[in-house]
Chains A and B, each alone.
Chain A
């Protein structure tokens, strides 16, 4: 079939018409091979403009067209829709930006006109090599795998499970509930941790669509958004679970105290970590090892902050909560809170702190803390110039990533930060997504945070899944993606490492790389890495780009 190409010149009101001699432009284009129409309009993005464009495409039986107007960022989508309405594949047109790149930046009308002609000719050359790209639809499994049965994993599971969506909740210990069930009270609602979990366990019990696997672990993950295949090992048995999305909610651990240096003696009697102290409170027995009631307690914040290189964001609050525990249970006890920088990042926290402080807790700012055991426990600070003897010490150690983070990250092919926590897709705009589509990170697996923020993230991940993997609805992946020419691929595998989305895998049998069409975002990284030019990006193929560039440089 003979090509019939249209070129459309937008005046953009006075924006283009006054700065570029469009008659001259028209003249320069009319005689190009296969060009059957060159037409101008006051404003192609207006209703009348779009209608005119649509009718011109139809009347002239155009096979491709170029529109010279503004930035494609502004109106490429507008004209794609017009092309579709006119019955043409939306990828068979090209925009030439003669407004931002010509009219708006060049004072001299002749110069601007010349450049505009060059740009439009380049777009014309390019569009000749455009190919139809058809939308694809893939069936997506709505079921979800949640790894980690702490409060974040539980909340996400409850939010997602329903008649059309099954949730598999995988927990490596013998019970659900994670760390929170160890907490006698959680800030800032002061509810009992165990009853929070019990209430949710009851709901899980009643929910037919949550399948819990205890003492289980994920040992293999294959597949991609909408179609993951996961092998879960429970005891000696292995099962294959198919899901459309995966949520990682494996929580945190406290930094191992034996790793810490510079605090003096941390392994003496009557020194407890926050979690150990929670247990004492829960059992209702706050006593020293010798069985006596402590008359004075030192609570030390920021344990291990220097080592991990971040503030865990919650230890100040839980430390202050420990003061409350002591005030509640053992009124009259002298309490000393040693802090570096009080971190109280929410509307409710300052009041809580002030209440506790007003009841007689001593807050001491100190950057250098040393613990000595010389005839009883002593906290030294202020360059050893000040000393506070106490009967008991509670440490608030930093939150660190859960032990399995590394192996899980490798299995799921998701990156981790310098800190070891899983990396979100974007620190502002996509906090619970990962670079692997369909895999989400929530709670302290993503970074140290409060229960309130963990819960929000759990629901956020659930929200993203509910909105994107809808039962009965197919996914429509991006069509401008990479593809690999099998004949040219030499199997060097360089592209595998450049892909941020885990979209390229290696076929050992054929000894070539293969692009997963669902996962590829069309970023183009792999193309630059390919020595043999085996990889091409649809709609940005070498020939398309070269033709455009050659014409511009002419």
Chain B
């Protein structure tokens, strides 16, 4: 009886994977990839694997592994999943190849909008955009008679009202885990106040009014958060949402789909998304724009590169998008924005639109300095101005070591 059930299950799964394996060509060159591990990457790499001989490594620590892996000769991976934040070391070290000839010869259908061009050469193929935007529980806000907040001041008001009504454990969630996440929250808020991170001569410029305002606003928001916010990353906030513990969060668009995942979420259909809130009038929404996409290593044979571009084209086809529509804000043809994508699209089309995350060597150093020095402000060891001074000092030390400052 049991054996029979297992055999039946196996047959069904084999049949379904057979039916799913709708690939335009059969891949006979072994190809591997290294990318981040969120849902969208899973969908794309699964679609690529249908062609056979393809091995995908999904790892959230990809950003630290990728530069060294691609610098090897031959490269340890053929395809890399990158974002605008992580492509810089690959470009700087020249370990990825221009794709124009490959696209012209083997994948002419890739639309121009997806080509990431550096000085006219296509260096990466984008597949989706990502941004942090306001996700909120519509039912909770309805209960207190408010609409989705459009500014951070309104977020504070709404949080106070929700706390007053005692509808959820904590009105707000935020990805403020010390290190990269906390720095990213500051980058968003500071951009919203119109701040610039460094001057033309690479000297830092965060110790100013915009910086202090951004920190004060973030501190005010933490009053409505789980007190353990300094260990809370994207997955933690996503779970808080799914378990109905929080009502609002400025969270990654790529996490939206999980809200309607019936297997995990207790709030299916209740979470809506709006544009990222404004920090101050006349500036773009307080967020940054990101794209995720794929690159091909330089240190591999031409045959492998050819197979890689064909696989990429296969992974980014309409069939994949139809099957995984809600996993991301896809740039691929055939994407139908769902309820949870409205916020990201409203953010992108805001006027003025938020800037792309500035991926430069200086910004990398600044991001690290922010991630290491900001926690002291939130634990109350330092005030805002002293913290920003410490950020600048840390930046200068590492910039000198990196040779960017003299």
Same complex: no
